[in-house]
Structure 1
Amino acid sequence: MSTDNNNHGLEEQRRRKAESFKLNIRDNYDDDGTSYGSSEPEEISSYSGEEVKDQIARESKRSLKKRQRQEKRELKARNKRNRRIFRIAWIVSVLIIAAALGAFLITGMNDLLAINRKDDSTVTVQVPKDADIGTVTDALKNSGVIGEPTYFKLYAMVTKNNTFSQGTYELKKNMDYQAIITNLQGTSNRTDTIEVTIIEGQSVLEIADKLEEGGALGNKAEFLQLCNSSKFDNDFDFLKNIKNPGERYYKLEGYLYPDKYEFYVNEDPASIIYKILNNYEKRMAEKQAFDGYEKLTSVNKMLEKSDDGYTLDEIMTIASIIQAEAADSDDMYYISSILHNRLNADSSEGVSSLGLDSTKYYPYRSKDKLPAEIAANYKSRYDTYDNTGLPPGPICNPGMEAIKAALNPYDSSYYYFCHDSNGKAYYASTIGEHEANLEYIK
C-alpha cells in the first residue's frame, strides 16, 4: 500500500512540474508568440542575433578570401605551366620553321644559281600567248630547266620579271634564273620562225592578209592601225618628213619594202613593222643598188627634193604607180617617162590628169575587192581620173627596180600607154595614137 502511495506521489509531482513549465512559457509570450515582459531579455536576445550574423558574415568573408587566394594560387600555377608549355611550343615551332626556311633557301639558292643542275643539254620550252608566271613556271619545271618552281616564281616577282613573250624557246638545263628570264624575254633563242615573202606591188592590206595567213601576225587590226600612225616617225626621218599624213589611207604605204623576211609566230605587229622599215632604210642607203646612178646615194639626200625636184615621198608614189602598172622591167622605165611627162605637161598637151586605173579603188586592188557595205558609192581620194597631179601617197609597196625607174625615166615623148591581154605594152604621144592602140588590142 505504501508503495502504491509513493508511486502515486511521484506521478503527481511530475504532473505539477509539467504544468508549471507550460505556465511559464505562456507567461513570457503573447498568444501570437510574441515575447513580452521586461526589455532586458529582449535586448540580450537581439544582441546575440546580431553577433551571430556578424560572426557568420566574417566567417563567410574569410572563407571567400580563402577560396579566392586558393583560386589565385591555382590560376597562377596554371598560367605558369601554360607559359612554360607555350614557350616550349614556340621554340619548337621557330626551330621547325627556321629549319624549313633554311632548307627552302638553300635549295632555292642552289636552283637559282643552277649549282646542282649540271646537265647542259638543250630542251624546248613552249610559252603560249599571254602566259602568266604560273604557266611559264610549269613549262620550265616540266622541261627540267628549273627544280624549284616556288622559288622561281618568288624570284620573278621580286625582280619584276613576270611578263614573257610568246614563242618556242631553246634553253639549256644548266642556266641560272636570270639567264632563263633573259632568254624568255628576248628572241635570240626562239625557234618558232616563219618565212614570209612580201611581193613587189602588194599593198598594206594585202601584206597584212599575207602575214596573218602565214601565222606571223596575230593581230591584223593593230598592224593596220600602226601602218597609219606616227609611232615610227622618231626612228625614221623618211616618215617624219611626210607632209600630208591626214590625207592618206595608210601612212606607211610604199615603205614596207618587198623582200623575204623571217618572223616569229604571232610576232608583235610593231616588231614586224620595225623589221620591214629597217630593211627599207638599209636598201635605200646602198649605193650599189642604183647601179652607179648618182641621184640617190642615201635616203637623206631626197628627204627634201631630188635632182628632178621631187621629194622622196613623191618618188615613192611614182614608183608605186609604176610597180602597179608596168608589165616588166623595161616597161617600168617607159611608164616612168609617161608619168614624168604628164606631171610636167602644160595645158597645151591636153593631159590634165594622170588617169590611172590602179588609183581608182585604192586602198583596194579593184572594184571587186571593195567591201560590200561601201561598194555602191565608193570614191577613192587617190583617184587620178578626178584629181590632178600625184595621189596623196603611194598606192602599193614598190621594189627597187620600180624606184630606180621612178628616178631615172627613159627620155620619150609618150603621154599614153596600154597593155594587151598578154601584157605587151603600147605607147602613144597623142590621144589619137592611144585610141588606135586601144582599138587594136581589143
Structure 2
Amino acid sequence: MMDPEKKQRMLEKIEQRAAERKKMRKIFLIITGILFAIVLGLGIYAYIFVTSALEPVDETSEEIVKIEVPLGSGVTTIANILQENGLVQNAKVFKYYAKFKNESQFQAGEYELMKSMTLDELIESLKTGTVYREPVFTVTYNEGWTLEQIAVRVEEKTTHTAAAFLAKVNDPSYIQELAAKFPTLINPEEMLAENVKYPLEGYLYPATYPYFEENPPLTLIIEQMIEETNKYVVQYQDAIAANKWINTPHKFLTFSSLLEKEATGTTDRATIASVFFNRLAEPMPLQTDPTVLYALGEHKDRVLYKDLEVQDPYNTYQNAGLPPGPIATAGATSFEAALSPSKTSYLYFLADKDGKNHFAETYAEHQANVAKYINTQYN
C-alpha cells in the first residue's frame, strides 16, 4: 500500500502539471490571437494603403504640373518622377499597376499633367504624349554605326560639319571633362590608350533623339547620346564588374560592339557571345571579320584571306583578346547578350548567304559548314 504522504505528493504533481498545461494552452491562444490580429491589421492596412495609392493625388486640383521624361526611361524611373512631382501617391504602386496592366511603352518628352488624373489617365498620357514642347527636329542614329557614320549624319541634319564633330570627340581635354560628368562610364586611361582609334567610338548610344533648338551645340548632341549609354552602364555596373573578360565599361562596350556587328538577328547574339567567351577562355583569337574591316577602314561584302593579314591592333585574327576599343555603337539587345550569353561549347560560327548563322564545336565541323554554306556560294 502506497504511503499517504507519497500519494499526496503525487496528486499535487499531477494537479500542478494539469495547471501548467492549462496555462500553456491559454498562452498559446493569446499568442495565436495576437498574431492573427497583427496579420489581419497588416492586411487591412495594406488594402487601405494600396487602395488609397490607386486614387488621384487630388481629385479637385486643376494645377498643371510640367515634367520631363528622359529618353530611355523605364517604368521605375517614370514612377519616381511622378511621385517626386506629386502626381502619384506612391511610385511602387504606380510601377506595379503599370506592369499589371502590361504597360511599358512610354514616350520620352515633356508633359503637362494634373494631380487630379487617375493612374489610367497618367499611363495613357505617357503613352500617347500630352507633350507641350514639340522638338524642332529629330535625328536617328542607327545601331552598328561607327563614329564616322554618326559624324556624317550630324553634318546632314545639323549646322555642324563632320570634321568638327570628329575633332570634338577626339579631343583629350573633352574626354577628361566627360569623365567628371560620367565617372562610372568614362575612363580616360582606357579610352585614350595608344592603340584606341577614337576615344568615344561605341560610347554614343544609337537611338532617335529630339532637339528643341534649331542649332543644338555639339556638346549637347554628343552628351545626349553618352547619357543614354551611361544609363545602361550604371544599371549593369555590378554585372560588368563581375565578368572576368569584360569587367570595365570600356571592355563591355567593346565586346557588345562585336556582337552588334556580327549578329544578323536578335536571337543569335547570346549564342555568338558564348562563342567569343569560349574563345577567350581557351585562349583562342576571336577572329571576327568586322574587326578586320574596322582596321581596313572600309566596308566589304566579303573579307579576303589577304585582308586577314593586315597589321593593325584591331585585327582579331592577328591579335589575341579584345580589340583596343569598340568598333561601333551597340544597342540594348547586344548589351544584354554580352552579360547573359548562352551556355554552349561552340568555338566557331559563320553566316550563310541568307544571313543565317551556323555554329560548330570543332574545327572539322566548322570546315564542313564552310564547304556547305560558303564555298558553294562563290563556286
Q: Decide: shared fold, TM above 0.5.
A: yes
Match of 1:193 among 136, 156, 161: 136
Tell me which residue corresponds to 2:6.
Answer: none
**Does 2:176 align with 1:234?**
no
* Residue 269 (structure 2) pairs with residue 332 (structure 1): yes
Offset at residue 205 of structure 1 (A): 0.7
How do 1:33-432 residues align onto structure 2 when only pairs under 5 Å count? 193-214=136-157, 216-230=158-172, 231=174, 232-237=178-183, 238-240=185-187, 242-243=189-190, 245=192, 246-263=194-211, 264-286=213-235, 296=236, 299=237, 301=238, 305-309=241-245, 310-346=247-283, 352-362=284-294, 366-367=298-299, 379-432=311-364
Q: Show CA shifts across 1:28-60 (max 9, x none).
A: xxxxxxxxxxxxxxxxxxxxxxxxxxxxxxxxx
Q: CA deviation at 1:427?
A: 0.2
On the 8 A contact 2:279/2:285 being kept in 1, the answer is yes
Any gaps of 5 or more consecutive residues in structure 2? 1-131, 302-306
User: SS of the counterpart of 1:361?
Assistant: helix
Closer/same/farther in 2, CA of residues 200 and 383 from structure 1, 3 Å limit: same
Q: Summarize the Cα distance change of 1:433–1:378 in structure 2 as closer, same or farther, 3 Å threshold.
A: closer
Aligned equivalents of 2:296, 2:181: Cα separation in 1: 29
Following superposition, the deviation at residue 342 of structure 1 comes to 0.4
Give the whole-Å Cα distance in 2 for the aligned partners of 1:285 and 1:244.
Answer: 18
2:37 is matched with which residue?
Answer: none
State the alpha-carbon separation in 2 of the partners of residues 362 and 388 from structure 1.
16
CA gap of 1:193–1:379, structure 2 versus 1, over 3 A, is: farther
For the structure 1 residues 419 and 217, does the alpha-carbon distance in structure 2 shift closer, same or farther, using more than 3 Å as the test?
farther
Gaps of 5+ in 1: 1-188, 287-295, 347-351, 370-374
After alignment, is 224-233 or 422-431 more displaced?
224-233
Distance 1:378 1:285 in 2: 36
TM-fit CA distance, 1:222: 2.1
Query: What amino acid sits opposite 1:272 in the alignment?
Result: I
Which residue identity lines up with residue 239 of structure 1 in the other structure?
I
Q: Compared with structure 1, are the counterparts of its residues 196 and 379 closer, same or farther at alpha carbon in structure 2 (3 Å cutoff)? A: farther
Residues 360 and 266 (structure 1 numbering): CA distance in 2 closer, same or farther, change over 3 Å? farther
Which letter maps to 1:320? S
Question: Residue in 2 aligned with 1:439?
Answer: 371
Question: Quick check: 1:208–1:223 contact (8 Å CA) kept in 2?
Answer: yes
- Tell me the alpha carbon deviations over residues 389-412 of structure 1, each in whole angstroms, 9 at most, x when there is no partner: 100011101001101101111000
Q: CA RMSD in A?
A: 2.7
1:333–1:408 Cα contact (<8 Å) kept? yes
* 1:243 partner SS: helix
How far is the alpha carbon of 1:202 from its aligned partner?
A: 0.7
- TM-score w.r.t. the length of structure 1 is 0.48
Deviations 1:295-316, CA, capped at 9 Å, x for gaps = x2xx4x367x334452222121
- Secondary structure (helix, strand or coil) at the match of 2:190 reads coil
Deviations 1:193-249 (A, max 9, x none): 3211111111111111112112x2513212112222341222112112652523211
- Residue 284 of structure 1 deviates from its aligned partner by 3.8
Cα offsets for 1:40-86 (capped at 9, x unmatched): xxxxxxxxxxxxxxxxxxxxxxxxxxxxxxxxxxxxxxxxxxxxxxx
Letter aligned with residue 208 of structure 1? A
SS in 2 for 1:337: helix
What secondary structure does 1:343 align onto? helix
1:4-23 superposed matches below 5 A = none
Question: Aligned residues: percent identity?
Answer: 31
User: SS state of the match for residue 418, structure 1?
Assistant: strand
Query: Given that residues 361 and 380 in structure 1 are in contact (C-alpha distance below 8 angstroms), is that contact kept between their aligned partners in structure 2?
Result: no
Q: Which has the larger radius of gyration?
A: 1
Match of 2:90 in 1: none
Take 2:191 and 2:274, find their aligned partners in 1: how far apart are those partners?
A: 25
Q: For this pair of structures, how many residues does the alignment match?
A: 229
